[in-house]
Amino acid sequence: MTFRILFLALTLNLSFSDFVNTETGWSFVQSTSQAFYMFETLELDEVVAIGDGCAAADCESCYCCQNPGSCDVIGAFFNDVCIGWIYVNQEGWTTVPTNGNDGGEYSENYPSIGDQVNFIIYDSSENRSYYLEAYCQEEDGDCSWANFGMFLYGQDDYTLDNDSEIFPETFNILNTYPNPFNPNLSIDFYIESPGVVDLEVYDIMGNLVEKIITQNFTASGLNTVVWNAEQFSSGEYIVRLKIDEVVYATKMVALVK
């Protein structure tokens, strides 16, 4: 049995970057704790899913990233927070790298040892996403998250939950642009239901730089604010959206003066 093993390359590239998937809006910040989930020959409606197996960190050089809408994507989620995504590998095994809680502020809502990870597959031909019901192939039947763990799912042991269709736009809850920026950063965030919103900026060490918004929003919808970073030095920053004390999304941005 031959399959692609990505963990050596990935663990050497731990730069705390924000990786955004163009088709779905799924994004994650890479942490120093990772686990890997392997799927054999993923299918959509009994047709092999399309993709070149390109990982988020390799987007600059792969076909799927350079041709948005041409490939299918599989994402990993913990409590509705994206912890990793990769384009499907139509040639065989698809290895999904997932990020865990390494103690940093940016990863506080990522899984720890023993937590369960869920998977969503995006069908580019239909522009729809579905929950993937996967069954662990480990001897003890346990595929709960563990740092540097590698877990297998067999070809006949997962199905699409077609009753639980997910609309891609529900994941586009936080967008930042331009990136890099100087000095103004536009931040779009979507509120699905009323709640207290905290929009904050941290440095890459996890220190709070500025609270942009702390406000009770009484209606759902798309909102936009502009962060002026004139007083701050060049470097990478993390924008974090928190609603009712739950972190929903983070984005890595670069201030270049």
Superfamily of domain 173-255: Macroglobulin (MG2) domain (2.60.40.1930)
| pTM for the whole structure | 0.59
Domain(s) of CATH 2.60.40.1930: residues in the chain: 173-255
Q: How far apart are CA 175 and CA 250, in angstroms?
A: 9
One pLDDT digit (tens) per residue for the chain, 257 residues: 334 434 333 433 444 557 888 788 788 988 999 999 998 878 887 788 899 999 988 888 889 988 888 899 999 999 888 999 999 999 888 999 999 999 988 899 999 999 999 998 888 887 778 888 777 776 677 889 999 898 887 654 455 554 444 444 434 578 788 888 899 998 888 887 888 999 999 887 778 899 999 998 887 777 888 999 999 999 888 888 888 887 777 777 889 88
The verdict on whether omega for the bond into residue 168 sits within 30 degrees of 0, i.e. cis, is: no
Neighbours of 42 (CB within 10 A): 25
